Amino acid sequence: IGVSHVTISNWVKSFNIKKPSQTNYHPTYKIFNHLELVEYLKNKELLSGAGMIITELGDKFMLIKWERFKD
């Protein structure tokens, strides 16, 4: 992304960023066409409490989503 690891390290130190205490994650992935992806992203309930990456996969899109395990 064009940012050096040294810059990231300095940001972590400057903003006193701590390692998350809960590190259990459950990644999942789905393959969508464009219209399916748009419909999926419209649903806010599916987006909250998770991280995600969307990448192009030929004429489709792959959405990788991870949620923390809940106790």
Give pLDDT, residue 47: 84
| Residue 3 burial (CB count, 10 A) | 8
Give pLDDT, residue 68: 66
Give pLDDT, residue 2: 87
CB 50 within 8 A of CB 66: yes
Q: What is the rounded CA–CA span in Å between residue 14 and residue 49?
A: 26
Q: Which of 69, 38, 66, 63 is nearest to 51 (CA)?
A: 66
What are the pLDDT digits (tens) for 10-62? Answer: 999 999 988 777 666 677 899 999 999 999 999 988 888 788 999 999 999 99
The residue type of 43 is N
Q: What is the rounded CA–CA span in Å between residue 36 and residue 46?
A: 13
